[in-house]
Structure 1
Amino acid sequence: MKAAVFDIDGTLIDSIDFWRNLGKNYLISQGISPRDDLYQAMETLTVAEGISYMKKEYKIGKTSLQIKEELDELLFSYYKNDAKLKPYVIEVIKTLKSKNIRLAIASVIDEELVFSILDRYGIYDYFEFVQTSENTNLSKDNGEFFKLLPKRLNIKPDQIFLFEDSLHCMEAAKMAGLNVVAIEDNYAKKDLEKIIEFADIYLKDFKKLIKFIK
């Protein structure tokens, strides 16, 4: 392993409940009753795509910019103040860095949100770059998203280990030739059997990883 690339939501932090309810809570605040399939429909979309989806499907009488500004207030407040890293994440990051393993982030969320939580915990500068769906214009379940990582790191795909909780993203990463380390998350338990079978390494938490890399 020459590089370790980490997803944020569901991997480094427990945020799935927040995201699961974000669209629903926003629609309710606008006096709109959301359908039961809202989260599933928006799960792999970028923020911009999610806004377009809600605006079209629920006929929201606001501009996309207005909706984004209102959602941004909720998002920044959460990542800046409330989001918490999973146990042992900081120790894993610092240990990998001490071993000269290159570190990066691959996430659906905006880079500013990534910065707000990692900087709060004092580990933002450990990462070389933050690759997101927003700054690449690529959905994270698209193999092209992950093909950018070897180019940016200037190393072979099989020297990169991706830490991820979403099966769809794991599949896209494997298509790009990356190694996949699955991190257990409550939301992904519906795909647990497939994830265990598909991943190169499966971890219930980061504690076991510390023993492996030390």
Structure 2
Amino acid sequence: MDAVLFDMDGVIVDSEEFWHEIEDEIIFADVVAGTPPARDEITGMNYREIYDYLAAEYEVTVEKDEFIAIYQDAAEEIYTENVSVMPQFDALLDTLRDRGVTIAIVSSSPQSWIAMVRERFGLDPLDLVLSAEDIDGPGKPEPAVYEAAAEKLGLDPEDCVVVEDSTNGTQSAHRAGTYVVGYRTETNAETDLSAADTVVEGPTELRKELLAQTESAR
């Protein structure tokens, strides 16, 4: 494999647990009338598309601008104060760089949120940082964002390893034709990652899998 494409939320940083609190306390409680959706229905999606999905499938009680503001107001605190980076992630990036592996972040979060994480945890240099908002096409679970990432890197999707933690994310990467590693933690212990080619638990297993997949790049 020539490249490793990391999802950000729930993989690089443990932000999903904080977004779940927002969703439980505000989105599902005050925005969606009646029975709320299962969390995995929206996890991994771009927050603007989450509104469109909820408005189509459920009864929502706020306009889209208000919904977007809820996420935007929460993002800076979550990414600059609350989240932690994956243990030994910097060492993993260094090893991949030493092997000549292309490294990218491919996320449903907007560039401004990704930038907070990059700056706070010193993730640069990266070969590509792509947000679902950067492409002219639907976000996860559709394959467009991963297809666009491979194209921008000048690679075939089958030469890319993707690390994802959500149902929507693994489905997106699978549909794009990449090799998908499902990343399992306590936060997503019950999440359906069946679209992944393999599932690893925690950073130690992830490192072992990624080094095995990129061995030929040495």
TM-score in same-fold range (> 0.5): yes
* Closer/same/farther in 2, CA of residues 44 and 165 from structure 1, 3 Å limit: closer
* Closer/same/farther in 2, CA of residues 36 and 208 from structure 1, 3 Å limit: same
Q: Are the counterparts in 2 of residues 91 and 210 from structure 1 also a CA contact under 8 Å?
A: no
What is the number of equivalent residue pairs in this alignment? 208
Counterpart CA distance in 2 for 1:208 and 1:41 is 26
Partner of residue 208, structure 1: 205
Counterpart CA distance in 2 for 1:32 and 1:177 is 34
Q: Are the counterparts in 2 of residues 163 and 183 from structure 1 also a CA contact under 8 Å?
A: yes
Does residue 162 (structure 1) correspond to residue 162 (structure 2)? The answer is yes
Does residue 128 (structure 1) correspond to residue 130 (structure 2)? The answer is no
Whichever residue aligns with residue 204 of structure 2, its letter is: K
Superposed CA RMSD: 2.9
Partner of residue 96, structure 1: 96
Question: What does the per-residue CA deviation read over 1:121-178, in whole Å, with 9 as the maximum and x for residues that have no partner?
Answer: 111x222222222222422110222221221110122211101112332233222221
1:52-131 superposed matches below 5 A: 52=52, 57-60=59-62, 64-123=64-123, 125-131=124-130
Question: What does the per-residue CA deviation read over 1:24-56, in whole Å, with 9 as the maximum and x for residues that have no partner?
Answer: 433589698774426455335421123456678
Counterpart CA distance in 2 for 1:143 and 1:202 is 19
Whichever residue aligns with residue 78 of structure 1, its letter is: I
Partner of residue 17, structure 1: 17
* Closer/same/farther in 2, CA of residues 24 and 191 from structure 1, 3 Å limit: closer
Q: Are the counterparts in 2 of residues 182 and 199 from structure 1 also a CA contact under 8 Å?
A: yes
TM-score calculated relative to the size of structure 1: 0.81
TM-score calculated relative to the size of structure 2: 0.80
Q: Are the counterparts in 2 of residues 80 and 116 from structure 1 also a CA contact under 8 Å?
A: yes
SS in 2 for 1:202: strand
SS in 1 for 2:105: strand
* Closer/same/farther in 2, CA of residues 121 and 53 from structure 1, 3 Å limit: same
> What's the % identity of the aligned pairs?
19
Q: Are the counterparts in 2 of residues 97 and 126 from structure 1 also a CA contact under 8 Å?
A: no
Question: What does the per-residue CA deviation read over 1:43-77, in whole Å, with 9 as the maximum and x for residues that have no partner?
Answer: 354211234566783322xx533443343121111
Partner of residue 188, structure 1: 188
Partner of residue 173, structure 2: 173
SS in 2 for 1:86: coil
Partner of residue 46, structure 2: 46
Whichever residue aligns with residue 186 of structure 2, its letter is: N
* Closer/same/farther in 2, CA of residues 23 and 127 from structure 1, 3 Å limit: same
* Closer/same/farther in 2, CA of residues 174 and 34 from structure 1, 3 Å limit: same
